[in-house]
Amino acid sequence: MSSNIKKIAITTGGGDAPGLNAVIRAVTLAATKRGWECLGIRSGFDGVLHPEDFPEGGTFPLTPDVVRGISHTGGTILGTTNRGNPFSYEILQPDGSVDKEDISPRLTESFKRHKIDALVAIGGDGSMGIANQVAKLGITVVGVPKTIDNDLEGTVATFGFDTAVSYATDAIGRLHATAASHRRVMIVEMMGRHAGWIALEAGLAGSADIILIPEIPFDLRKVAEKVKERNSRRRPFSIVAVAEGAMPIGGTEMYHDAGGVKKLGGIGEYVAEGLRPLVENEVRTVVLGHLLRGGSPTSRDRLLSFRFGAAAVRALAEGKRSVMVALDPPTVSYVPLEECTRRTKLVPLDCDTLATARDLGTCFGD
């Protein structure tokens, strides 16, 4: 099937991730090569929903000159937001309360006004869910999977994940020396709301002694036993890698107050407080947080971003719609948006990486 596309738009939504700019460059160059115009939308869909909020304009042309030299940079030149769902848009009321309204008709009107023939939506599970709804409005949409958590169904990997794991692994490696010097237990909290892929892979690669992930509720006594076991060795220190969404058996996710808003986080300090009366070591906590999202993408993430961006344009050229590009080694394939948004890709309890960690003596608190 051929397409009659003349102009496409690109949007980035949700949390930022290393590799976003590389995708934008790939889409722009591949589209330009086909004679298409390329338009960047600022801050998710806000650039077309509320262009008046952007003094520099809610949209701008993406050309080879504009995207030159951005592939190695972090963040996104388009900007992004976690609160731009046009189907449930937050509207601040005069009394300070927030209502949610469906303003998607404004989106379709804006696309018609800008003469946009298709959309490349780059984002994670939330953004792909929105992209699926946008496609149902009659807009041609191709999604590109982005999340450092690697928790999107339908693709072997998402870009941003390798960079996050590499940074977390390096951080854990750096903590080995100071933990050994002071005979400490060092707890490293990292992102991973529902899926523990980052903590699992970085923990294993960084030789963490204990890894706590959302998929395996933990018992603090089991964690303490592992610490005591290591204390009987020549170098009595322990490294604990914990995903922010990990929780104790029978417990719930940990949240902290951030300016009156509840944010996921704090599990590292919870584990530290629970361990202190159970072990002799001094216990310290390091929270990697948004450091995992920043910086230059690894070569693997950069290459995956290029492949995804080019594949998205090929999908449009072939007349595809309502699909997400997905890594299906050795190729990039197309997965229906409806399918990739049904569930979160969790760490399987029988996966080889988890089995390897157990064989090497890693404790998961169970």
Torsion of CA 275, 257, 14, 197, to 10 degrees: 10
Q: Is 114 annotated as a binding residue?
A: no
Active-site option among 16, 46, 117, 149: 149
CA distance 114 to 284: 54
With a CB cutoff of 8 Å and minimum separation 6, the contacts of 89 are: 49, 100, 101, 102, 103
Q: Is 339 annotated as a binding residue?
A: no
Q: Which residue has the tokens 């230059």?
A: 296
Confirm if 333 and 182 have CB atoms less than 8 A apart: no
Q: Is 361 annotated as a binding residue?
A: no
Q: Is 192 annotated as a binding residue?
A: yes
Q: Is 365 annotated as a binding residue?
A: no
Burial class (CB in 10 A: 0-12, 13-18, 19+), 346: middle
Q: Is 284 annotated as a binding residue?
A: yes
Q: Is 125 annotated as a binding residue?
A: yes
Q: Is 221 annotated as a binding residue?
A: no
Of 12, 343, 321, 304, the C-alpha closest to 152 is 343
Q: Is 290 annotated as a binding residue?
A: yes
User: Strand, helix or coil at 190?
Assistant: strand
Q: Where are the beta strands (DSSP E) in 124-223?
A: 140-145, 185-190, 210-212
| Residue 149 appears among annotated catalytic residues | yes
Query: Binding site residues, as ranges?
Result: 15, 83-84, 124-127, 147-149, 184, 191-193, 244, 284, 290-293
Query: Binding site residues for substrate, as ranges?
Result: 147-149, 184, 191-193, 244, 284, 290-293
Query: Binding site residues for Mg(2+), as ranges?
Result: 125
Query: Binding site residues for ATP, as ranges?
Result: 15, 83-84, 124-127
Residues forming the active site = 149
